[in-house]
Amino acid sequence: MLYLDNRNQLILDEIQNRGTVDHAPVYPREVVRRALELSAKAMIIVHNHPSGDPTPSRADIDMTRQVVEAARALGVDVHDHLIVGRKGVASFKQLGLM
């Protein structure tokens, strides 16, 4: 997670959770709680796909929507969700997924 201040300057980059080869649990409540603790005004979600293919999964899309909704309700913007793989990077914003 990248947590940003009101000028989009980095406050903190932090590993929120570690997963297995095909799953990493993300809890929107915990992500947003941490943003509030840091007085962050925005955040960028970043994770990798060990398969190398950065294409967002249905679970990635659903989780992102949950985080965006929870954050928005508390005044925190989610600027993007980036998925990194050997074959490149997928940006939810560029893909029109947020």
Separation between Cα atoms, residue 68 and residue 32, nearest integer Å: 9
Given a cut of 80, is residue 61 above it in pLDDT?
yes
- Domain count within the chain: 1
**Domain range spanning residue 77?**
2-18+26-91
Separation between Cα atoms, residue 20 and residue 36, nearest integer Å: 27
For residue 45, the surrounding DSSP H or E stretch is strand 42-48
The answer to the question of residue 98 being in a domain is: no
Separation between Cα atoms, residue 22 and residue 13, nearest integer Å: 23
pLDDT at 17: 73
For the packed helices 58-73 and 28-37, what is the interaxial angle rounded to 10 degrees?
40
**CATH code, 36:** 3.40.140.10
pLDDT at 22: 63
The answer to the question of residue 83 being in a domain is: yes
The answer to the question of residue 97 being in a domain is: no
The answer to the question of residue 96 being in a domain is: no
The answer to the question of residue 84 being in a domain is: yes
- pTM for the model: 0.88
